Homo-oligomer: A and B are copies of this chain.
Amino acid sequence: MKRLTLEEIGQIAGVSRSTVSRVINGHPNIRPAVRQRVEDVIRQTGYQPNSAARSLASSQSRVFGLVMPSLMQSAFADPYYPLVIQAISHACNQHDYTPALFLFQTLEEEEKTSQRIVASGMIDGLVVTADTIESTFVSKIQEYEIPFVQIGRPLQASAADISYVDVDNEAGSYLAASHLIQLGYRRIGQLATAHNVAGAHRDAGFRQALTDRGLPIDESLIEVSDFSEAGGYDAMRALLERQPEAVFAHSDAIALGAIRAIRDRGLKVPKDIAVVGFDDMPLAASADPPLTTVRQPIYRTGTLAVETLIDIVRTSPAPARHIVLPVELVIRASSGAVS
Contacts and interface: CB of A to CB of B under 8 A. Distances in A.
A59 B56 CA distance: 13
Interface residues on A, range: 35 or more
Contacts of A101: 66, 85, 89, 99-101
Interface stretch (A26-34, A110-118, A268-276, A304-312): A110-118
Interface in A41-99: 46-56, 59, 61, 63, 66, 71, 73-74, 76-77, 79, 81-83, 85-86, 89-90, 93, 96, 98-99
Contacts of A73: 86
A147 to B, nearest CB: 14
B46 A122 contact: no
A134 interface: no
Contacts of A83: 76
A46 B3 contact: no
A103 B76 contact: no
B120 A50 contact: yes
A73 B79 CA distance: 12
A1 B142 CA distance: 9
A93 B86 contact: no
A77 B79 CA distance: 6
A282 interface: yes
A121 interface: yes
Contact of A50 (B53, B56, B145, B228): B56
Given A61-B52, A100-B98, A76 B76 contact: no
Nearest to A281: B77
A1 B89 contact: no
A120 B115 CA distance: 25
A100 B52 contact: no
Nearest to A257: B286
B90 A109 contact: yes
A121 B52 CA distance: 8
A120 B48 contact: yes
A102 interface: yes
A53 B51 contact: no
Q: When A and B form their complex, which 4 residue pairs have the shortest distance between CB atoms, in order from nearest? A: A52-B55, A48-B119, A51-B122, A52-B56
18 contacts: A1-B145, A3-B119, A3-B121, A50-B56, A50-B120, A51-B120, A52-B52, A52-B59, A66-B101, A74-B282, A77-B79, A85-B101, A86-B105, A89-B101, A89-B102, A93-B113, A230-B286, A263-B288
